[in-house]
Amino acid sequence: MAEHGSQAQANIGVVGLAVMGSNLARNLASREGNTVAVYNRSAERTNVLVSEHPEAGFISAASIQEFAQSLHKPRTAIIMVKAGQATDAVIDQLCDVFEAGDIIVDGGNALFTDTIRREKAVREKGLNFVGAGISGGEEGALNGPSIMPGGSAEAYETLGPILSSIAAVVDGDPCVTHIGTDGAGHFVKMIHNGIEYADMQLIAEAYDLLRTAAGMSPAEIADVFAEWNKGELESYLIEITAEVLRQVDAKTGKPFIDVVVDQAGSKGTGVWTVQTALDLGVPVSGIAEAVFARAVSSKPAQRAAASALPGPASEWSIDNLDTFVEDVRRALYASKIVAYSQGFDAIVAGAEQYGWDIKKGEVAKIWRGGCIIRAAFLNRITEAYAEDPSLVALITAPYFTEAVAGAQASWRRVVAESALAGIPAPGFASALAYYDSLRAERLPAALVQGQRDFFGAHTYKRVDAEGTFHTLWSGDRSEVEATDSH
């Protein structure tokens, strides 16, 4: 039975009892050894949760003071409130009632730079602050999410077993690991979401090609995705894509997909990933294309005006449907490898910039369950980093190199033919352009350097000599060794 109490009985508490917090609290309460204290700003939510779930044995708190008193030491509380100012408000309240050594966990979708700032401020008060990325939505929160905690190793000693008790489990391993200090957990969660954007966009492009170029029906395409889900593309996203495509609208009897407005929204984590990658100088073009594709879709006025723009004269002529479907599958797989490789590049760059020791193989491992990008494919990533922890780019690992080599003829056909037929496939095309850029012996960046030196004296390096140079473009065009002022 739920009870109000001032005794320190709970080993874990949850503040913020909207859908995510309630589900996480229920998940915690359902695991052996956990007694869960719950508190919400407005008492109504607390009362509803506690009365609807007597089996959970929640200790409900009517005030933040009561909440603190109900936790034994080190007090550990997970905040699940609206990310932003609400998080800061709750942290301030908890800091007032918690004591040195206690642990405040933010399980919301915080921007990692906010987490870095909060961790520092809370640490200066002698308390621990852990920003934990929690993936898997409502369902994951209730039944087992993938959890990406940052913060100190000391805090993880207490927190780790609690988080392990509620995380998704794959092959006996809970999908949680200490990612790194301060904002590392929220950083990796952000990249996860960015990869999710790319993965979804690529799947959507594959659907569009099968529909538009081959004229297949949504139900037929659902069968194709269900088949793909038995092979190397096996993943939650492919699985649910088949479900969505098979759905029939009860009102009209039409395929569900045809009654949905084709404008995709976003909550911002994809944008954060791209903005962060731009700052870090990491080309996450697959994620960026996915974010931009949603932005293009959400511009009805521009799309209406542009619908009169001329397209190609000819259509894609498909001789053999099976070959075409296999080409699209391979193009999807190769593009997906690029997107994940870029996502891990961003993790490497973030770790370097912020001083985090992030184990890439462990990250891939904890994404195998609970989260939206869960997939068999992640095992290959873990293996690649196990073989070579300092792998310079995931795509250069033998497994992925071979996979792309096997797919590339199909990939090139799909990108070329979709361009000729005027069917947009920005994710596929940009992934291929990235792949070709990366493997090119020489890039036209040399010309860009020449242009930069011409108009801005930005200098350049030579292939055959040390040093930095500038050509006197408006003078006699001789070359001088550049000084620091250039």
By beta-carbon proximity to ligand NBP, the closer residue of 16 and 180 is 16
For residue 51, the minimal CB distance to ligand NBP (Å) is 16
Which stretch in 5-13, 82-90, 167-175, 443-451 sits in contact with ligand NBP by CB under 6 A? 82-90
Backbone angles phi, psi at 442, to 5 degrees: -135, 135
Question: Which tokens is 235 given?
Answer: 């993943």
C-beta of residue 360 within 8 angstroms of C-beta of residue 381: yes
Which among 130-138, 353-361, 392-400, 439-447 is the span making contact with ligand NBP, rule CB under 6 A? 130-138
Q: Which of 77, 83, 116, 291 binds ligand NBP (CB under 6 A)?
A: 83
Stretch of 83-91, 239-247, 387-395, 435-443 contacting ligand NBP, by CB under 6 A: 83-91
Give bridge partners of residue 132 from the DSSP assignment. 149
DSSP 26-64: HHHHTSTT--EEEE-SSHHHHHHHHHH-GGG--EE-SSH
Which residues are within 8 A (CB) of 98 and not within 5 positions of it... i.e. 6 or more apart? 68, 75, 77, 104, 127
Q: Which of 16, 354, 26, 372 is nearest to 189 (CA)?
A: 372
Helices 285-297 and 321-354 cross at an angle (nearest 10°) of 110
Residue 89 lies near ligand NBP (rule: CB under 6 A)? yes
Strands (E), 40-145: 59-60, 76-79, 103-106, 128-135
- Among positions 44-63, residues that touch ligand NBP (CB under 6 A) are 45
The span from the CA of 206 to the CA of 329, in Å, is: 7
- As measured in angstroms, the least distance from the Cβ of 140 to ligand NBP is 6
If 0-12 CB within 10 Å is exposed, 13-18 middle and 19+ buried, where does residue 85 land? exposed
Tell me the number of residues near ligand NBP by CB under 6 A: 23
- Rounded to a whole number of angstroms, the minimum distance from the CB of residue 39 to ligand NBP is 9
Taking CB under 6 A as the criterion, the residue among 1, 32, 42, 304 binding ligand NBP is 42
Does residue 43 belong to the site contacting ligand NBP (CB under 6 A)? Answer: no
- Please report whether residue 28 would count as binding ligand NBP according to CB under 6 A: no
Q: Does the footprint of ligand NBP cover residue 21 (CB under 6 A)?
A: yes
Q: Which residue is nearest to ligand NBP (CB)?
A: 108
Smallest gap from Cβ 192 to ligand NBP, in A, equals 10
Give the whole-angstrom CA distance, residue 176 versus residue 386. 18
Residue 274 interacting with ligand NBP (CB under 6 A):
no
| Residue 157 annotated in active site | no
The answer to whether residue 72 forms part of the interface with ligand NBP (CB under 6 A) is: no
86 binds ligand NBP (CB under 6 A): yes
How is 323-367 classified by DSSP, letter by letter? Answer: HHHHHHHHHHHHHHHHHHHHHHHHHHHHHHHHT----HHHHHHHT
Q: Is 270 in the site for ligand NBP (CB under 6 A)?
A: no
Catalytic residue among 125, 139, 189, 326: 189
| Residue of 10, 12, 20, 168 that binds ligand NBP (CB under 6 A) | 20
- Check: CB of residue 453 under 8 Å from CB of residue 468: no
Give bridge partners of residue 235 from the DSSP assignment: 375
Decide whether 135 or 285 has the Cβ nearer to ligand NBP.
135
Please give the C-alpha separations between residue 151 and each of 78, 104, 245, 356, in angstroms, as whole numbers.
Answer: 13, 10, 41, 11
Give the binding range for ligand NBP (CB under 6 A) out of 70-78, 79-87, 207-215, 301-309: 79-87
- Smallest separation, CB 134 to ligand NBP (Å): 5
Residue choice 82, 413, 458, 486 for contact with ligand NBP (CB under 6 A): 82
Catalytic residue, candidates 196, 205, 289, 417? 196
Smallest gap, in angstroms, from Cβ of residue 381 to ligand NBP?
21
Q: Which helix (H) or strand (E) holds 472?
A: none
Q: Does 179 bind ligand NBP (CB under 6 A)?
A: no
Judged by beta carbon, residue 68 or residue 216, the one nearer ligand NBP is 68
CA distances from 404 to 387, 395, 432, 436 (A): 19, 8, 10, 12
Residue for token pair 């961790």: 119
Q: Considering only 13-21, 63-71, 272-280, 385-393, which stretch makes contact with ligand NBP by CB under 6 A?
A: 13-21
Strands 479-481 and 469-471: antiparallel
| Interface segment toward ligand NBP; rule CB under 6 A; list 74-82, 213-221, 394-402, 478-486 | 74-82
Binding status of residue 18 toward ligand NBP by CB under 6 A: yes
Q: Which string of x and - marks every residue 135-154 that binds ligand NBP (by CB under 6 A)?
A: xxx-----------------
For every residue of 370-384, DSSP letters joined together read SSTT-BTTHHHHHHH
- Residues 98-127 binding ligand NBP (CB under 6 A) are 108-109
Question: Is residue 265 part of the contact set for ligand NBP (CB under 6 A)?
Answer: no
Is residue 189 annotated as a catalytic residue, yes or no? Answer: yes
How many angstroms separate the first and last alpha carbons of the chain?
73
| The token pair that represents 263 in the structure block | 């404008």
Choice between 2 and 393, CB closer to ligand NBP: 2
Nearer to ligand NBP, 89 or 296 (CB): 89
Q: Taking CB under 6 A as the rule, does residue 90 contact ligand NBP?
A: yes
126: left (phi over 0), alpha (psi -120 to 50) or beta: left
Interface residues toward ligand NBP, by CB under 6 A = 16-21, 40-42, 45, 80-83, 86, 89-90, 108-109, 134-137
The residues assigned a catalytic role are 189, 196
